[in-house]
A and B are shown apart, each in its own frame.
Chain A
């Protein structure tokens, strides 16, 4: 039989330890830098902008990357982001109309899409998608990756471009859908697919250049990816400063290097 008094002493000691642990756990480990929600096509470019921002101002921002549609939904549910960079301005304008943002924000770039394939894939990317058409006809494509068109702007543009080229029906059964365009790029350059259509900005990143080849798709084949950023209702001074910094020439230069076209009109 277990000795009860000994157990009680240990129980008391355990309860004390538990209380101490829970007190420590309840103290939040919240980062005090503002959280910025960025569309996945900015995965690498925005990290560089944030690093430049830190060098210049000494201030940190915390980046959260994902699909624009998901972020818009989270912002409606009260997610604590202070700034939102969307790959499609529709999400920002809808949020603005419903009073979740400070104003309608600013256009910061226009995005492009590109077809990519990893080194060694039977698909040789070309902008006219002729090689994709030929490979599909020859049965050389078993899987092709794009972002989910339902909530990822780059997925929607990929669908539009494939429809424009008359390949949508042929490719449809072969599609694997990334939850966002960054995951689509990861799928497209894995050995499990023969290629995919992703953001040009990701195709230009060192991580992807090392893995495969790409070709730019004509911008007339899809509706423009007008990318808009906005400050949300709870934005603090650091987020405001970062918002202004993204519009500065230094940031524009980084964005241009990742294939983003500067917006023609200022707003």
Chain B
């Protein structure tokens, strides 16, 4: 069992969720309540990673974040290390790639709130922030939770992009999915089987937990 790789994957997934939580709430709420020209395009852009082959996405990231690119050079100058083949680059890629998994369930959650409820909150003189904390978030909670679990589980399983922009650097970019691939290449099927089983168990537990939790909330709301 490659514990370093497992911890790295958990860190990557955890941080992706931490960053995407506020981003997803802001974007999901904006898309749920506002109508504006070009909204379809914005939604399409967010959904793009769902259909784009990970290698295509990885290729563009490699070009956009690479040592020769403006972004890569800025990062190198600001932080003294490259973006590609580092954990930071992997995190950035993971955040972008998980946008649809975070935004879409949250948007559905906010859309499900009846407009009367939000209007009542506004009429009662609630500030937008209070309304977010007291009305929107409690009601959209199942969607937000689903988004968090999906992003987490999806990050654990991501392979193509990690291979393209991560390489397989132990403790830096070798996630557990890559470690499984490496172990198979090294004829170490026992270790590959161990890690695969663990990943399977974690993914299953994550999904089962969301279903159980959203059912509980659903009952409470109903």
Contact = CB atoms under 8 A, between A and B. Distances in A.
Interface of A: 1-2, 4, 7-8, 11, 18, 21-22, 25-26, 28-31, 35, 40, 43, 62-66, 70, 74, 76-81, 180, 182-183, 185-186, 205, 207-208, 211
B214 interface: no
Contacts of A18: 18, 21
| 3 residue pairs, one from A and one from B, having the closest CB atoms | A78-B82, A207-B187, A79-B85
Interface residues of B, number: 40
Given A77-B82, A80-B85, A4 B170 contact: no
Contact of B66 (A77, A208, A211): A77
Nearest to A36: B170
Contacts of B141: 2, 7
Contacts of B167: 64, 66, 70, 74, 79
Given A80-B85, A80-B86, A182-B185, A35 B169 contact: yes
B169 A186 contact: no
Interface stretch (B32-40, B51-59, B131-139, B193-201): B131-139
B7 interface: yes
Contacts, number: 101
Contacts of A7: 134, 137-138, 141
25 contacts: A1-B221, A2-B220, A2-B221, A4-B135, A7-B141, A8-B133, A8-B134, A18-B18, A18-B21, A25-B11, A25-B18, A28-B87, A29-B7, A29-B8, A31-B4, A65-B185, A70-B167, A78-B76, A78-B85, A79-B82, A79-B85, A80-B85, A80-B169, A207-B186, A211-B187
Nearest to A187: B185
Nearest to B165: A77
Nearest to B3: A29
B67 A76 contact: yes
Contacts of B185: 40, 43, 65, 180, 182-183, 186
Contact of A4 (B10, B82, B138): B138
Contacts of A79: 82, 85, 167, 169
B151 to A, nearest CB: 14
Given A43-B186, A77-B67, A186-B185, A25 B85 contact: no
A62 B5 CA distance: 13
B3 to A, nearest CB: 9
A171 to B, nearest CB: 23
B58 to A, nearest CB: 13
A25 B14 contact: yes
A211 B15 CA distance: 42
Contact of B170 (A1, A26, A62, A211): A62
A77 B172 contact: no
B81 interface: yes
A37 to B, nearest CB: 9
Contacts of B10: 25
B27 to A, nearest CB: 19
Interface string B204-222: 0000000000000100110
B82 A208 contact: no
Interface in B47-82: 66-67, 76, 81-82
A180 B184 CA distance: 12
Contacts of B186: 43, 65, 182, 207
B162 to A, nearest CB: 13
Given A21-B18, A62-B170, A64-B170, 6 more contacts: A2-B141, A2-B221, A7-B134, A29-B7, A31-B4, A77-B85
